Amino acid sequence: MEATFSSPGEVALQREAGVPGLLTPLSDLDRVYELERVVAFVRDLECQRVALQFPDQLLGDAGAVAARLEETTGSKMFILGDTAYGSCCVDVLGAEQAGAQALVHFGPACLSPPDRPLPVTFVLGQRSVALDLCAKAFEAQNPDPKVPVVLLSEPACAYALEDLATLLRPRYLDLVVSSPAFPLPAGSLSLELEPLERFGRRFPLAPGRCLEEYGAFYVGGSEASPDPDPDLSRLLLGWAPGRPFSSCCPDTGKTKDEGAWAGRLRARRQYLVERARDARVVGLLAGTLGVAQHREALTHLRNLTQAAGKRSYVLALGRPTPAKLANFPEVDVFVLLACPLGTLAPQPSGSFFRPVLAPCELEAACNPAWPPPGLAPHLTHYADLLPGSPFYMPLPPPESELWDTPDVSLITGELRPPPAWKSSNDPECSALTPQPQLELAESSPAASFLSSRSWQGLEPRLGQTPVTEAVSGRRGIAIAYEDEGSS
């Protein structure tokens, strides 16, 4: 019976983890992974130990790439896998544990600055782009050559944007080509010549021009996937709502107007803001430990919830999953503190017991002074909410009238009460109500939630259960215990 319905336990211990085969032919490794540039990076730094970070979908080529680099450079290569959070972030913690002097990141990257200084180079990959088809699609979407447009792309297609712009510039004069915002060496650009940096990209705008004046043409995506990836969602949320935004498949040249989907994303975000305003308990999910300023952002979010009269809990769970977050039913909403791509990644699943928000939604829900005047885009990176950012907006003082503005929930239709600290400062309420002895004056949200449940767990019955010696129980597995025999 055991062999029929299950495998013996020894099989799991003796099983070898199969190594997937090569995803890329050996003859194409140098081109696909830009090994010549990586070798120059290692030799320039004279590194003896280098960490190689691969996403899960590229681990099949990791061994061959590491062997080729070790043979060429003579340095020791360490393959980093099983990142605790998103694979788009630089895993500086894993590199430090391996004693690496530099890191090479392969695959899509959010380009967020790491928390610790470490020489890093990025290999985004090179997806094939049909330039002629994309140029015709651009002309069909933009018949007026005088309309300003920005060329955008997914990370693997960024190398082809300049070639695409070369085909379009004889007719389109007001065309801006974005580029990935790789970390620049210190002193490489002066402050006067530094381009605008936003959405993990750099925009070389002319003096006096702003990004809100431009439409967008995005090269990337796939026709097989109906929903945009986190990188495209980040752009749709942050782009000016009144400007056109279209996407083009690099393989077929088929275009799609993303305006309707952008409206759905913004409506979804506004709903999450309303849920955050109604929430009493907020769970702050630590979604990164390697991105810069994550500690300052966590302190900022805790101050936000305290100022709004909410209770917050900090949870370190690794990658958020519905099963993990379902263990905290007393939490009303969760806020994921991660990189811009990691913040938007869990949203399309829709299977979470409680909604998962970005830090920007919590800022809009708890700070009555938000958003700043003239701020149109939706921010996706928590660094934009901290002091020093042009979008930073401090909390109003306690005596400000913004805290007393009536607020009605668009979900329940009820009037939201003011923060608890606001009512305690009312000079007309100076009388003290005596509390009976041994009465709990303030209970935690978790205890209040537990007391409202119909089943609170097994009763302890302390002192009522007789003490007995421990006895040997059944042995075996559930389908075939040893005392059941062969029947």
Q: Kindly tell me if the per-residue pLDDT of 151 is higher than 90.
A: yes
| Residues 6+ away with beta carbon under 8 Å from 90 | 53, 103, 105, 109, 112, 114, 118, 120, 290
In this predicted structure, what is the pLDDT of residue 187?
Answer: 47
Mean pLDDT in residue range 401-405: 79
Extract the tokens encoding 422: 């606001």
Lowest mean pLDDT among 268-272, 292-296, 408-412: 408-412
Model confidence pLDDT, tens digit, residues 181-239: 887 654 454 445 578 888 889 999 888 888 888 999 999 887 666 667 888 888 998 88
Lowest mean pLDDT among 9-18, 97-106, 141-150, 189-198: 9-18
> By the 8 A CB rule, do 316 and 294 touch?
no
Q: Kindly tell me if the per-residue pLDDT of 177 is higher than 90.
A: yes
In this predicted structure, what is the pLDDT of residue 407?
Answer: 79
Whole-angstrom distance, CA of residue 196 vs CA of residue 204: 6
Measured at the CA of 361, the angle between CA 355 and CA 364, to 5 degrees, comes to: 140
Q: Which of 378, 365, 423, 372 is nearest to 393 (CA)?
A: 372
| Residues 6+ away with beta carbon under 8 Å from 273 | 361, 364, 365
In this predicted structure, what is the pLDDT of residue 214?
Answer: 92
Residue with more model confidence, 345 or 245: 245
In this predicted structure, what is the pLDDT of residue 437?
Answer: 52
Query: Rounded to whole angstroms, what are the CA distances from 48 to 43, 69, 72, 97, 98?
Result: 9, 12, 12, 15, 12
Q: What is the 3-state secondary structure (H, E, C) of 18-41?
A: CCCCCCCCHHHHHHHCCHHHHHHH
Q: How much is the pTM?
A: 0.77
In this predicted structure, what is the pLDDT of residue 170?
Answer: 85
Mean pLDDT in residue range 155-166: 91
Query: Rounded to whole angstroms, what are the CA distances from 341 to 200, 336, 391?
Result: 10, 11, 19
In this predicted structure, what is the pLDDT of residue 487?
Answer: 57
In this predicted structure, what is the pLDDT of residue 4?
Answer: 38
Query: Rounded to whole angstroms, what are the CA distances from 64 to 18, 29, 36, 437?
Result: 16, 8, 15, 72
Q: Work out the pLDDT band at 425, boundaries 50, 70, 90.
A: very low
Lowest mean pLDDT among 77-91, 296-310, 328-342, 412-426: 412-426
Q: Is the dihedral of CA 208, 211, 216, 218 positive or negative?
A: positive
Residue with more model confidence, 335 or 421: 335
Q: Work out the pLDDT band at 17, boundaries 50, 70, 90.
A: very low
Enumerate the H helices of 74-130 as residue ranges.
92-97
Residue with more model confidence, 139 or 487: 139
Q: Kindly tell me if the per-residue pLDDT of 88 is higher than 90.
A: no
In this predicted structure, what is the pLDDT of residue 421?
Answer: 62
Lowest mean pLDDT among 130-144, 148-162, 407-421: 407-421
Q: Kindly tell me if the per-residue pLDDT of 282 is higher than 90.
A: yes
Whole-angstrom distance, CA of residue 359 vs CA of residue 301: 8
Q: Kindly tell me if the per-residue pLDDT of 333 is higher than 90.
A: yes
Q: Give the domains, in start order, of the chain with CATH numbers.
A: 24-123 (3.40.50.11840), 131-184+194-265 (3.40.50), 279-416 (3.40.50.11860)
Whole-angstrom distance, CA of residue 12 vs CA of residue 9: 6
Q: Kindly tell me if the per-residue pLDDT of 178 is higher than 90.
A: yes
What is the chain's mean pLDDT, rounded? Answer: 81
